[in-house]
Amino acid sequence: MENETLKEKLCETNKYNRELKKEMDELKDLATFATVKANYNEQYSRKNNIKIYGVQETEGEDIIEVVKSVLKEKGDVEVNERDIVAVHRIPGTRGKAPKPILMKMVINDKKAHIMRKRSIVKEAPGNIRLGDDVTKENSELIARLLDSEGVSSAWYFNGAVYAQVKKKRVKFDILDDIAHKVNNIRD
């Protein structure tokens, strides 16, 4: 009699454990989906942003005028104040390299026009570079891709991260198993 009671309790416990595992798996899938969507939304909110590196800081600078003159001088790009939503320096360590400038453009077309001049700006004297405003998760993904065997290059473009794998351009997401994905790409 006691064995039958224990068997019933064991069956109930096993059933309860299966239900908990099913619920936990559903929550894990939901958390994964939420993480990917949060990164996508954060990256989308940055789509009109440009980071400008290497511009020397001066006391009391008018950052909008600094950006306008740097882009005109180094990249032959005209930027009007009406094209800019906001400009500020990103906080950084004092005394290190100049703090980057973050500039949010009104429309993506103006950003694209400026970014097409990035190589001209980089080649001009002064060591100034233009870059996309990439989320921390996407930056870490690019770093992981560059450290991965079989990946020759990795970059951010238009809201997504790509890598060159076996002469193919492949899109990656922050939760992808890089080694598995790279190994399954055919020549």
| pLDDT tens figures, 143-174 | 999 999 999 999 999 899 999 998 999 999 99
Query: Phi first, then psi: what are they for 52, rounded to 5°?
Result: -115, 120
Nearest-angstrom CA–CA distance, 29 and 35: 10
pLDDT digits (tens, 9 = 90+) for 75-129: 999 999 999 999 999 987 776 778 999 999 999 999 999 999 999 999 999 899 9
Q: Compute φ and ψ for 147, nearest 5 degrees.
A: -85, -5
Superfamily (CATH) of domain 49-132: L1 transposable element, RRM domain (3.30.70.1820)
pTM: 0.80
Which pLDDT score, from 0 to 100, does residue 96 have? 75
Q: How many CB atoms lie within 10 A of CB 43?
A: 20
- Every domain of the chain and the residues it spans: 1-46, 49-132, 136-183
Distance from C-alpha of 53 to C-alpha of 81, rounded to nearest angstrom? 20
